[in-house]
Amino acid sequence: MRATLAAVILLAVIVGLIVAAARIWRRRAQGGEVDGGVDIIPYLLLALAVGTAGFTLAALARSSLTGNQLAGRPTGEIAGALAGLVVSAPIAFLLWRRQAARRKIYPEAAGWPVYLTLIELAFLAAFFFSVWDLAGAIFGEGAGANWTDLLVYGGIVAFNWWSERREPARGDARDLPRLTGSGVALIALAIGLIGSLTWLLSLAYDGIWGLDNVPEPATPLTLLFVAGPIWAYRWLPPWEDEPGSLLNFYLGLTTTVTLTMVIGALLTVVVMVITFFFGERPAPASDHFSDLPVTLAVLLGAGPLWWHHVRRLARERTGARRGYEYAMAAVGLATLVGSSVALVEAAFTPTLAGTDNAATLLTLGCIVITAGWVWLYFWRRAQRASPRQQEVRALPRRFYLVGMAIVLGLTAAGSLIAVLVIVFRALLGEVDGMGGNLRLPVALTLVSGLATWHLVDQLRDDRAGTAATTVKPFSVTVICSHPGNLGAMFPREARVRVIYRDDNLAVIDEDMASAIVTAIDGRSSFVWVDQDGFRIAPARER
């Protein structure tokens, strides 16, 4: 579980950092203020030094204050921790002072939010792991309760929040530390919530039908009560500015993951019921439905989390909304391809006498139908979106079409190679078992090939539609503090002129940019942006 969690967190942060770096790069390329450079390397070194110092301090506290010492004095642990501290602490101190001085000159350097993010990620995750371990040790059978980890990691997280409050992150990556904290706390909250619900539902199930193993509630309940307030502190307070790309990315990711969990749980319940009634030789009902508490706990835990986050997505087709819907379409399509191939394989696999594969076929059939429905639902929503020109040019659509075409195209090519190897081997005289070997690669080639063909065809349509639609040249004059990526959202026929205001009250975010492009709809216009939003006045056509 930890490896999966760590992989998900790492992936989310890497993507977030790439998005932040891309935005910074684009801003610099557009001739924005350099702000003393990105200043990223010293902050990465600072994060490394603080991280080393923090974890070695935790090791020192652990060996000095906790653990049941059986033999000898902990000189080895103390020596190791001291060595780490002697090297990392002075580096951290000097770099901290240097960067604090540089922040006064270049307050918008991107390194500061990146540093805050890395420390929040490492130590908040370590804090939740220590909560989990301590609860397990106190309420379970563990001998060593490492309460010092809780103090050290909690102290570092609190210091990090205090530093952020004292010197708030600015620039394009300003939301990254809070979003990272929200994400880590949300994962811990979800684990605690689902674990606690599993315990409650298992108790109920045990009371009615009997259950072999009712999970212990102490650890998930502890995690729930600790993670809940932290998540509320990091996520619920209002965001200072309008939603930026990072917040949109976060919302898109959380809504996609939580909805996938909800659909997966619902599907599992349906499969349980169908295989009970239509599978051959069903087990006793109490055994067959013994996974129901866990499944319902996932449904009841992930459902409200999805609802909470999806309500924060704008109803208009903003970047976040599109990201969520195309991500769901990608999940649906990928699952559809995988489950279809598995279904073909299961349907044509010769079974031994008496072997029951009805449950497998029913399960795979349900997955195919659900995945197909999810893909069609979100894909059709995207196809009906208007204005068409804007949808076709949207970045999430390009990512979806190009990314999925590459992945599925490579899958089809790889499986085709496997088919040809078997065919050539047969032609060269090795014919035994050719039919059985061919089933899986042929099915994979056909299904992923069909999906790739659909995606490439759609890409061609998008390109043809863009080329065929003739938009008259038009000009837009925007009066604002910062245009954001408004220029990139207009079609090529637009000539955009920006008049900058002297204040910082009229920054155009992604949602507003999308709304402006929709409202202008290819007509020459003046756009006035202030703290209340934007107003449009028609201009003479050029």
Partner 1 sequence: MTGLEPATMSDMDEARRVPGWVFPAIGVATVVLLVVIGLNREPEQFDPDTAAGTVQSYIAALTAGDFDTAAAYWSDDGCIPESDQPTGGVPDISATLVRVDGNDDEATVVIGITDNKADPVDGIYQHDEWFSLVHQDDGWKIRQPAWPYYDQICEEVMT
Q: Please state the closest distance from residue 111 (CB atom) to partner 1, in A.
A: 20
Closer by beta carbon to partner 1, 75 or else 213:
75
Q: Please state the closest distance from residue 95 (CB atom) to partner 1, in A.
A: 13
Binding string, 434-473, against partner 1, x = CB under 8 A?
A: ----------------------------------------
Closer by beta carbon to partner 1, 26 or else 97:
97
Residue 94 touches partner 1, criterion: CB under 8 A: no
In angstroms, the CA 504 to CA 500 distance is 10
Closer by beta carbon to partner 1, 88 or else 524:
88
Query: Collapsing DSSP states into helix, strand and coil, what is residue 394?
Result: coil
Closer by beta carbon to partner 1, 61 or else 274:
61
- Name, in order, each residue with C-beta under 8 angstroms of 335's C-beta and a sequence gap of 6 or more: 367, 370, 371, 374
Question: Which pairs with CB-CB distance under 8 Å and at least 24 residues apart come from 310-314?
Answer: 310/255, 310/259, 312/251, 313/251, 313/252, 313/255, 314/243, 314/511
Which run of H or E residues covers position 500? strand 494-500
> Could you tell me if 389 and 311 are in contact, meaning their C-beta atoms sit under 8 angstroms apart?
no
438 is written with which tokens?
């061919």
Binding string, 51-90, against partner 1, x = CB under 8 A?
A: ------x--xx-xxx-xxxxxxxxxxxx-x-x--x---x-
Closer by beta carbon to partner 1, 59 or else 513:
59
In angstroms, the CA 474 to CA 184 distance is 46
Q: Please state the closest distance from residue 47 (CB atom) to partner 1, in A.
A: 17
Q: How many residues bind partner 1 (CB under 8 A)?
A: 28
Q: Please state the closest distance from residue 76 (CB atom) to partner 1, in A.
A: 4
Q: Please state the closest distance from residue 153 (CB atom) to partner 1, in A.
A: 14
Q: Where are the beta strands (DSSP E) in 226-311?
A: none
Closer by beta carbon to partner 1, 80 or else 414:
80
Closer by beta carbon to partner 1, 71 or else 537:
71
CA neighbor of 38 nearest in space, from 172, 166, 161: 172
Residue 93 touches partner 1, criterion: CB under 8 A: yes
Closer by beta carbon to partner 1, 58 or else 508:
58
Closer by beta carbon to partner 1, 157 or else 299:
157
Residue 101 touches partner 1, criterion: CB under 8 A: no
In angstroms, the CA 358 to CA 347 distance is 9
Q: Please state the closest distance from residue 318 (CB atom) to partner 1, in A.
A: 37
Stretch that binds partner 1, among 4-12, 139-147, 230-238, 350-358 (CB under 8 A): 139-147
Q: Please state the closest distance from residue 74 (CB atom) to partner 1, in A.
A: 5
Q: Please state the closest distance from residue 80 (CB atom) to partner 1, in A.
A: 7
129 is written with which tokens?
């792991």
Q: Which of residues 3-62 bind partner 1 (CB under 8 A)?
A: 57, 60-61
> Could you tell me if 382 and 330 are in contact, meaning their C-beta atoms sit under 8 angstroms apart?
no
From candidates 26, 97, 463, 535, binder to partner 1 by CB under 8 A: 97
Instruction: Measure Cα distances from 121 to 47, 187, 412, 516 in Å.
Output: 11, 12, 38, 36
Q: Please state the closest distance from residue 87 (CB atom) to partner 1, in A.
A: 13
In angstroms, the CA 35 to CA 54 distance is 30
10 Å Cβ neighbour count for 129? 16
Closer by beta carbon to partner 1, 126 or else 328:
126
> Could you tell me if 481 and 242 are in contact, meaning their C-beta atoms sit under 8 angstroms apart?
no
CA neighbor of 149 nearest in space, from 250, 63, 262, 259: 63
Residues that bind partner 1 (CB under 8 A): 57, 60-61, 63-65, 67-78, 80, 82, 85, 89, 93, 97, 141-144
